[in-house]
Amino acid sequence: MKLNLAAALAGVTLPTVLAFTPTRTTFHRSSSITSMQVASSSSSWSLQEDLTFNPPDTMNDAQISEVACAEAASLMKRVKVPVPEYVNDDKSVGISYIHWKADETAKRNNKNALPLMLVHGLDSSCLEYRRLGPKLAALGIDTYAVDLLGWGYTQLDDVKTFSAQAKVDALAGFWEVVGNNQPVCIAGASLGGAASIEYASASRSKKDGIVQGAIFIDAQGFIDGIGPMAALPNFLAKIGIEVLKSEPLRDSANQMSYYDKEAYATEDALKVGRYHCLREGWDDAFLSFMKSGGFSPSKKVEKIDVPSLILWGRQDGILDGKEFADKFVETLPDAELCWVEECGHVPHLEQPEFTAEKIASFLRSDKFEDVVPAVSTSSSSPFSFGNVGGIAAAGVAAMAAAGTAVTLIGSN
């Protein structure tokens, strides 16, 4: 299936993109870290929080008025996580995330449901879950929204590759350090679904017991790669990447993401998604991902043999639910489908209360009665560190000049 670039960007960035350039961008990139030992000794890594990391100032620098965004940003942290040497010579990278701690009373009443790890779409950030995270925590679900390496507010300097495999390896490293490899439910929206499939299928293949549940929200699961864009010469690819953060394309993506455009396709929504693109090094990180060829999830979906929930906006204009939602149900060994009415491509942003209730109900169900959310006995990350395995020049030039859509394979 082919999607034009505006549709693809909407699918992965989700409705968080903008045509806004702040007068001052204050991103602190110091490498100083403070080390704190993880409570359990099962992990070989200590939790190293970067205390010099400054979360994005969404209200002042970014001029975003949404209170939920500011509250989420205030909770953002960055930690060092283990990665293979092909990613970084120091074998570690800084990964940003938000943790919404479960309400203890609700948690006790909800059978101590599995913790949930949320993965955003292409070129988005953990702020994508700013409306869903607090609602899940109030329902007793310990919720983590994590940035994929190269996107959001992760480390950009001194990283050798931001490939699809590097993103998956960093995701595994994140849960080893922050989640201590305890059983978890992985959830991905749009392109985050592809990353989640890569992570979950590796876990299930290793039989490590980490991934015990999966949730896919209007997810990309059956489109591999990014097509001819991966073969573009660097100078043309960089032109296309600049267009990715342009006002016309971001506005188009924002409009395509929602059912209720008037209420949700706002200037604030645009600003949330574009702000991280202003960081130094973002362009090169995106180019690295493009040249890697992207994710290849389609043949791995069937390997995820855990209870799975498919959430799909009935009016999704990016990924057709009749085609892809049903295909998830047919392919996954144990899946249930829930349609989200009056909703486009982003249920977690357009219908967060309904989405939270469905996720909490799923995690409290009898499907998980034999799973105890306890620390894994694994001493290291179970993931093997291998590699995951156009636009014509005139097309790129026209896109850059007129802000028109070009073809991109996949819902990146």
Q: How many residues does the chain have?
A: 412
102 in Cβ contact with 142 (< 8 Å): yes
pTM of the model: 0.83
Q: Is 61 exposed, middle or buried (0-12, 13-18, 19+ CB in 10 A)?
A: middle
d(CA 374, CA 181): 9
Q: Which pLDDT score is estimated for 374?
A: 53
pLDDT score of 122: 87
DSSP 376-390: ---SS----------
For residues 109 and 105, what is the distance between their CA atoms, to the nearest angstrom? 6
pLDDT at res. 372:
65
> The tokens of 39 are what?
């409570």
**Tens-digit pLDDT profile for residues 39-96:** 333 446 778 888 889 999 999 999 999 999 999 999 999 999 999 999 999 999 999 9
pLDDT of residue 373: 60
- In this predicted structure, what is the pLDDT of residue 230? 72
Contact between 48 and 21 under an 8 Å Cβ cutoff? The reply is no
Closest CA to 184 of 219, 209, 150, 163: 209
Per-position pLDDT tens, the chain of length 412: 444 444 444 333 333 322 222 333 333 333 333 333 333 334 467 788 888 899 999 999 999 999 999 999 999 999 999 999 999 999 999 999 999 999 999 988 877 799 999 999 989 999 999 999 999 999 999 999 999 999 999 999 999 999 999 999 999 999 999 999 999 999 999 999 999 999 999 999 999 999 999 999 999 999 999 877 777 888 888 888 888 888 778 888 889 999 999 999 999 999 999 999 999 999 999 999 999 999 999 999 999 999 999 999 999 999 999 999 999 999 999 999 999 999 999 999 999 999 999 999 999 999 998 886 654 333 344 444 433 333 333 333 333 333 323 223 233 3
Give 230's DSSP letter.
G
Q: CA-to-CA distance for 190 and 125, rounded, in angstroms? A: 13
**Cβ-proximal residues to 150 (8 Å cutoff; 6+ apart), any chain:** 156, 159, 162, 166, 167, 285, 286, 288, 289
Query: Is residue 171 classed as helix, strand or coil in its secondary structure?
Result: helix
